[in-house]
Amino acid sequence: MRVRMAPSPTGPLHIGTARTSLYNFLTARHAGGTYVLRIEDTDTARSTLEFERDIIDNLHWLGITWDEGPQAADGDDIGPFAPYRQSLRMELYATEADRLLASGAAYRCWCTPEELEAVRKAQEALKQPPRYNRRCLNLTDAERAAFEADGRKPVIRFKVEPEVIRFDDLVRGEVEFDNSLLGDFVIVRNDGMPLYHFVVVVDDEAMEISHVIRGEDHLSNTPKHIALIRALGYREPRFGHIPLILNADRSKMSKRKSQTAMSAYREQGYLPEAMVNFLAFLGWSPGTEEEIFSLDELADRFEIDKVHKGGAIFDRDRLDHLNGVYIRALADEQLALRLRDFVPAAVADEDLVRMVPLVKERLVKLGDVPELIGFAWEPDDVVAGWYEPADLAPRKGGPEEARAALEGARDTLAALDPADFSAEVLEQRCRAAAEAAGMKAGDFFSPIRMAITGRPISPPLFASLELLGRERSLARIDDALGKLGAVRA
């Protein structure tokens, strides 16, 4: 088995492309086959090295590796069928186009865009399916010479035979198309640049691809590809078309309506292990209640013919759930390493490890950490700016109750020896202070929480106090009292 992934570097790695890449990877690994990465960069106007780098880097981030192809955007290709970038394979495409012309399976067409548009409108008026009318198929030598004299540059069209194309799809079962409805399509533009339908067929043959696994949106392209394959005398690979990824409203995921770039999920702090697990289940299931799989376990269980035919709903809540499961499965030291890129460089490694237990159960994404515990590294005046005096009031009470709680807390914290400034001791003393003040614990604690963290909801209060330390905690309570108009000397 030889499978391939052939992304176009005309944009960042799309979540659908990532899922298709994963399915190819898992299929190859399950069968002990070969996985090829090929870069389809014939769209020179939109292809960039930056997008190629994004695709390769994010596939590697997911843990998806390939046996042949470019290992880096600016690196050498690995494999016996190099080069693996289509822009470097033009000589092969020209040779194969000439073969089609010589056999009569393709012909040159000099029709202008205006002429083609006129044909389309006429067909539309007659309620006929739009397709090329073969005006240039049987031109005389004189007519061709006249077009050349006019300076027209021809495209090359493939002559589609009016036949029924049938194939056994790996996912969808038997599929049938009537090619008489297609019309003769362009395979080489008038500037000599070959187009997708042509080059993908040539490369799949040249690279001995045995199974073509791609998105359902390519299903309608398959009869064109099979017709080309037969005209060129190639062997037919097996085709498999996986379901589209849909939004919750069952509309197709698009850049305008959805977050589709893999890099965006990476930047938000989704773990690659969680993303792989999530992507695998977008159209496939193991047939059991299990939901957590490593990449190796997925490869062991995955079978392409078990992929669902229906569209796969992108459920962000499920992704968040899986990400949380993977986060909580990490040791504190491992999670601290993952969080390193999401906290300021000034935060010491040992301090970051101390912060992890406070947020581990609450983290959905790594990128949530500044919101959850940014108070630990932000300056006191910045944290004080996160809330208004009215925010200090407990649920049942106003400024006076807030002031009483803050003053009681300040006295309690100030009386503690720094050596005793632990979450356990702090909770014990603060509960006693709340009782002495005649306040419920929740009402006593909420002004302290707001003063210390700047948020009404935070990691455990006493662990947060311990993390900040005695002096910083006292300074923040003083800031809060200052807001209430009672600055302590």
Catalytic, 255? Answer yes
The catalytic residue among 121, 153, 252, 255 is: 255
Amino acid at 136: C
> HEC states along 225-294?
HHHHHHHHCCCCCEEEEECCEECCCCCECCCCCCCCEHHHHHHHCCCHHHHHHHHHCCCCCCCCCCCCCC
**What three-state secondary structure class fits 162?**
coil
In this structure, what are the phi and psi dihedrals at residue 374, rounded to the nearest 5 degrees?
-60, -25
Instruction: Compute the C-alpha angle 364/245/29, nearest 5°.
Output: 85
Inter-axis angle of helices 49-62 and 272-280, to 10 degrees?
90
146 touches 152 (CB < 8 A): no
Alpha helical stretches, state H, 104-221: 113-125, 141-149, 196-206
* Rounded distance between C-alpha atoms, residue 216 and residue 422, angstroms: 58
6 touches 200 (CB < 8 A): yes
**Residue bearing tokens 């669902």:** 308
Within 8 A by CB and 6+ apart from 188, the residues are 93, 97, 155, 156, 194, 195, 198
Q: Which region holds residue 469: left if phi is over 0, alpha if psi is between -120 and 50, else beta?
A: left
Amino acid at 264: A
84 touches 39 (CB < 8 A): yes
* Rounded distance between C-alpha atoms, residue 362 and residue 219, angstroms: 43
Mind telling me the catalytic residues?
Answer: 255
